[in-house]
Structure 1
């Protein structure tokens, strides 16, 4: 009896979960291949919304996807674990021992065979080795980190209410995560003011620090300038051209020696892929640990290893910049590989070159506003958008992602349940 070919997808983020879902439906259900998804967490949430989990303005328990349950529905399997070794010659991926919180070994180190390995591990903020950041700062790169920040935030806000004392929050990084978190924190305070203390908005002070000359440097200048103006109107203190040289218990130390005092510190600057990739089977990586891939999305070193999304570096044409680590790129790459991996496995048919289609860029400042640009296609090519239309466009991105994972009917039911719960439950997380 012929052993079915095996596809391992490492990382259950935007690209990894979508790819595993598609391959499970196409190959897993028919028995053409075994498809397994590997992730350290048991659940998935859409990463562009982590800042709302951190602020407590989004119901994480309603939005999260259980990998085990989703795998059962879509014809693939889920393996909990963290990769720690890669033997390209034997085609084996090694997973580190899985430990209980108390340190007890739940699952021993184990190795999994593969015929195709897809790395979709994602990325995290890059502290660039800045002293004190790892010890004193919160990161918002995963559901666990966002919930940890929210737990401390709720405690700090409660103390501020009871003792009538100020609360200072400082965020480093003027990219989408830092900017959207600032706006969502203001939204939290506006809602919280209706729960008994209307003065809480005045006592909580939020500061955003950016090393470059403007926030949202990856966006067009119109989006950057409009977003900065909106944040200032919301009372957010902005510092651009500001170099942070260290984090301390009492705040961020700047290059000129000043201290930006803060009670809660958040680091949302830079992008870096997982350190595992730097030593994974000798694969070529760039200085931020991203796997260098060719147009067909496979490693330049191994045609059986593919990489997608934030952990991959693809230069689309000679002399161009690598594709940015965005949800849009990850989503398109997952769809592309899902269409062509089956024929590659079964017939050895080459995976066609991936072509990125720029659909534009959006940044949502909670309920207050949204700004963005249209993609490089259509009648309004590259046009600037804002307000309600931009907000609806941002919401639509998530709804489209839900449809891609669950199908139209189930996604519609989830949307209806979300609307109903929003009507009967508190608008912010209170416990």
Structure 2
């Protein structure tokens, strides 16, 4: 068949800082998805987008074309409104686990289509697969039934949603174009809009452990995604949150599940509780159910009850003991003082090297591997006090994990200023 456009013309236009027409964008996404535009041509176009950017119209059309490459889900048959949360990924970010059941307590359905971890950021599905028996894959029918019955589901996204994104995502990973804000925004939002939820809260992470290292870039990404959602008719809000330090006191699969259950039982680390409550309030507000006492549902066990039902519905045993790594080793304070820095990226890489993450999509992960954190910035420590405990089944990994932590933990003479976890809000 003859093509409507020539890929080289589209690449040159963006290379020369011109705006692409809606027709050009729709054609290039469709042609790339069916193989008529070659990988090296799409690589060149991605790099041109990274260097020269896109207008709001171009990004909206690009996102729409990615949605049109696959199926769309429809939750309109449910008896309750739907709301979803997406995090741009961080270290120790287990918030999806307590958040979905917490929001479901208040009669709002949470279809949380999640992914696996790659590199230093953990994947929600990898975490939940450390629960004995739990299954990530559900059919659309099973998912709808669970949303109606339990109100919350965390499962693998079907391959039918935005298949163009799957190809583009893999390409960006190997061509140095992951950081392009138009491509990050369209990748996230094409899947979230195709998912068909009525409201969406974005948790955009900022700091060493996040994609966005500084507040200005994070604001630009958040603004772009909120605009995309709004233009597509999805009530969208973004919260910018701190990812300079790991979230909570664990990074790793079973370790993070254990911590999430503590939060659902009314305990857990203060920062995880604070962020879970904030995002739950935003999700309920966006779904038209604002004003609920969210904290109370963590304290009185209602959220934990929904968690247990959600885990059981997907074949898991919420009461079974979680896997524990065979080997552990401590990292201790080298002097007296105050912990001033615990670099999220360093901790994330250490957890990954211990076996909690994967370098390639097909790599297995260790359920028990990861990092347990004993003190956070601002805490006073004495020489020899444990700062971290490293967990792995393969002790030969300890050396590389400790290398990753080199320079990532700093102890000073004075406590650093307390910072808030929520940095900004964009709607």
TM-score normalised by the shorter chain: which range applies? under 0.3
TM-score by length of 2: 0.22
Q: Larger % of strand: which?
A: 1
- RCO higher in structure (CA 8 A, sep ≥6): 2
Q: Larger % of helix: which?
A: 2
